[in-house]
């Protein structure tokens, strides 16, 4: 097993959190940090005392590194990922990988062409709660799963202005939160074909009039899947939810059901249950320190010598569903 040398592009809160998780494994050496904010850079360098600060992606790619961890605003993700991959570096990027399906497809093709490992921080897959449910689904323990409800309401919403500019973000709550929901639903069911998509998008309580000028803060969508399963999706920013967050992935089958739900409005505490009609059986309970697991999984595979993984094609699958929700 090798010890990859990592460069970090963007070390705001989420970038530093992932840096701490990766550093704690001891599997990698953190070599360089590119962060324009002095405070953010200083906090990152405190986590990786042996690293040095550089100015931007070009300088980062001139360092002796094997991979780049990207935690920058969404508008830059695709271009930065492609540049790193074209330089022969593996990439772990925050979601969304791109603002549109074509952008994501370009990144995945760059990874395939370079034969480099590509990871995206779709972290809810890595929760103990979702792991317990996926085990049931893989074993067909719920029978035919005909209904899936996935929900993510963030009662706060983002605090950075670029999230509200569709040219920079690619959209609102769907591309920010719905990406997790679509990924969870399709991944957990083994990537069935999405045969139909219907959606309704709202901004400030009114139907979204022009997605090129405004982003949605409330969305509902229905995905029809091959085999007859229907997925109902709901997500929002700033909802009058009575709690900080409502997060759920609920699976309804002919032989039982299962649910992932957040506890007490928490963004982090998740519970999984198996449903036997009106009786619920616990599958997983908090606490569960899952936030950095997607990054750690990527690093573990990288240290083991993993190259391009064709599972990355499903990143395009999810992005194309998002495009259909937006009607583009």
pLDDT beyond 80 at 97: yes
Contact 283, 258 (CB under 8 A): yes
pLDDT band of 192, cuts 50, 70, 90: very high
pLDDT beyond 90 at 212: no
Residues ≥6 apart with Cβ < 8 Å to 278: none
Other C-beta atoms lying within 10 Å of the C-beta of residue 143: 12
Q: Tens digit of pLDDT for each residue in 244-301?
A: 999 999 999 999 999 999 999 999 999 999 999 999 999 999 999 999 999 999 999 9
State the Cα–Cα distance between residues 243 and 266, nearest whole angstrom.
Answer: 8
Q: At what angle do helices 101-114 and 74-86 cross, to 10 degrees?
A: 20
Instruction: Give residue 175's pLDDT.
Output: 98
Contact 169, 215 (CB under 8 A): yes
pLDDT band of 57, cuts 50, 70, 90: very high
Contact 321, 195 (CB under 8 A): no
Averaged pLDDT of the chain: 97
Contact 37, 8 (CB under 8 A): no
Tell me the percentage of the chain whose pLDDT exceeds 90: 98
Averaged pLDDT, 55-76? 97
State the Cα–Cα distance between residues 127 and 294, nearest whole angstrom.
Answer: 9
Contacts 24+ apart (CB under 8 A), 286-289: 288/127, 288/128, 288/129
Contact 249, 257 (CB under 8 A): no
Averaged pLDDT, 240-245? 97
pLDDT beyond 90 at 1: no
Closest C-alpha among 122, 134, 114 to residue 297: 122
Instruction: Give residue 280's pLDDT.
Output: 97
Q: Tens digit of pLDDT for each residue in 158-177?
A: 999 999 999 999 999 999 99
Cis-peptide into 287, omega within 30 deg:
yes
Q: Tens digit of pLDDT for each residue in 111-157?
A: 999 999 999 999 999 999 999 999 999 999 999 999 999 999 999 99
Other C-beta atoms lying within 10 Å of the C-beta of residue 14: 13
State the Cα–Cα distance between residues 289 and 126, nearest whole angstrom.
Answer: 10
Segment holding 45, helix H or strand E: helix 38-47
Closest C-alpha among 250, 202, 206 to residue 229: 250
Q: What are phi and psi of 319, to 5 degrees?
A: -65, -35
Instruction: Reduce the DSSP state of residue 87 to 3 states and report it.
Output: coil
Instruction: Give residue 2's pLDDT.
Output: 83
Edge-to-edge strand order for the sheet containing 270-276?
A: 206-207, 194-203, 218-225, 230-237, 145-154, 245-253, 256-262, 270-276, 279-284
Tell me the percentage of the chain whose pLDDT exceeds 70: 100
Residue 327 CA, distance from chain mean position:
21
What are the tokens at 30? 């953190």
């Amino acid at each position: 097993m090798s010890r990859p040398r990592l460069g970090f592009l963007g070390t705001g809160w989420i970038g530093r959190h992932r840096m701490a998780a990766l550093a704690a494994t001891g599997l990698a050496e953190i070599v360089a940090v590119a962060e324009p904010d002095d405070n953010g850079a200083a906090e990152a360098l405190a986590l990786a005392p042996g690293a040095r600060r550089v100015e931007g992606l070009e300088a980062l790619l001139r360092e002796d590194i094997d991979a780049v961890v990207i935690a920058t605003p969404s508008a830059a993700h695709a271009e930065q990922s492609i540049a790193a991959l074209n330089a022969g570096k593996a990439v772990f990027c925050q979601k969304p990988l791109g603002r549109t399906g074509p952008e994501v497809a370009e990144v995945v093709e760059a990874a395939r062409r370079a034969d480099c490992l590509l990871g995206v921080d779709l972290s809810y897959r890595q929760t103990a709660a979702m792991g317990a449910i996926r085990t049931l689904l893989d074993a067909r323990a719920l029978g035919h799963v005909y209904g899936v409800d996935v929900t993510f309401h963030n009662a706060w919403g983002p605090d950075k202005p670029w999230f509200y500019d569709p040219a920079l973000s690619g959209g609102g709550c769907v591309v920010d939160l719905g990406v997790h929901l679509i990924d969870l639903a399709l991944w957990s069911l083994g990537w069935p074909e999405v045969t139909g998509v219907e959606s309704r998008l709202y901004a400030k309580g009114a139907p979204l009039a022009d997605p090129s000028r405004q982003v949605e803060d409330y969305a509902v969508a229905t995905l029809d899947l091959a085999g007859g399963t229907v997925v109902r999706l709901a997500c929002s920013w700033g909802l009058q939810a009575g709690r900080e967050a409502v997060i759920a992935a609920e699976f309804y089958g002919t032989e039982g059901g299962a649910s992932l739900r957040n506890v007490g409005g928490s963004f982090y505490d998740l519970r999984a249950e198996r449903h036997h009609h009106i009786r619920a059986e616990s599958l997983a309970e908090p606490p569960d320190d899952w936030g950095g697991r997607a990054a750690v999984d990527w690093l573990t595979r990288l240290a083991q010598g993993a190259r391009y993984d064709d599972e990355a094609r499903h990143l395009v699958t999810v992005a194309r569903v998002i495009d259909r929700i937006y009607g583009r």
